[in-house]
Amino acid sequence: MRLSKLGICGIISLLSYTAMVVFSPLAYPGYDWMSMAVSDLSAVGAPSADLAARLNSLFGPCGVVSIMAVCVAIANVDSKLFRVGVYFFAGMEWLCNVGYECFPWVNGADSTNPQNIIHLLVTVLVVVFSIAAFVLIAIGAGKAKQKSLGIWAVVCLAAMFAGPLGTALLPKSVFGLFERFSTFSAVVFNAVLGMYLFLGKFEKAE
């Protein structure tokens, strides 16, 4: 099996996450996606937690398989910044999957709950790694002969910043809407990396 075929896992990861975000609210009476976070759907004690786990079951494994295959594929790319950016993104994927799996948000508890504190710390690390990855990939994309991927990195970085800016400047009634800009930015970018791998674009850049 060619390494490039594993890129399809990035697309599957995005579809699994999207299915969780779209359909899990059906099992959560009173859930308002405009004002509530995505993590509320899979929180410990949430009525939708079981459905969310089932729908999201391919998100983590497929996302990690895809990004690790990308790491192998770009090993000989000229731009060191580009390579390091992809490695940061891979680190973010591992942090996201292991951290949130071990420390899911506790439904009904506030941010002082020990498990919720660790959940928030994981979120901070995920954001830091994501920003570093997007910036490095955007800067190194030209030398890596991946200018279009650099544009994707800039767009996803802008979407990631749109989340906290929107939640800070706009009413809490639209918190959930802008939070989804941030959460989907990394998921979409991983799918884009997977698509590039599947289409053999990294091989052409060597």
pLDDT tens track for 6-22? 999 999 999 999 999 99
In terms of pTM, does the model score above 0.85?
yes
Residue 74: C-alpha distances to residues 19, 60, 67, 133 (Å): 30, 21, 11, 14
Give 64 or 106, the one with higher predicted confidence.
Answer: 64
Map residue 104 onto helix, strand or coil: coil
Q: What are the tens digits of pLDDT across the range 143-179?
A: 989 999 999 999 999 999 987 887 777 788 888 888 8
For all residues of the chain together, what is the average pLDDT?
91
From 77, 83, 49, select the one nearest 145 (Cα to Cα): 77
CA 80 vs. chain centroid, Å, equals 23
Which residue is listed with tokens 């674009």?
Answer: 201
pLDDT of 4 over the 70 cut = yes
Burial label for 131, CB within 10 Å (0-12, 13-18, 19+), is middle
Residue 154: C-alpha distances to residues 57, 144, 189, 194 (Å): 29, 16, 10, 17
Residue 130: C-alpha distances to residues 22, 31, 107, 173, 202 (Å): 24, 28, 26, 26, 21
Q: What are the tens digits of pLDDT across the range 54-97?
A: 999 999 999 999 999 999 999 988 899 999 999 999 999 999 98
Distance CA 125, CA 118 (A): 11
Residue 96: C-alpha distances to residues 4, 55, 77 (Å): 24, 17, 26
Which residue is listed with tokens 């989907």?
Answer: 184
Within a 13 Å sphere around the CA of 63, how many CA atoms are in the beta-carbon half? 26
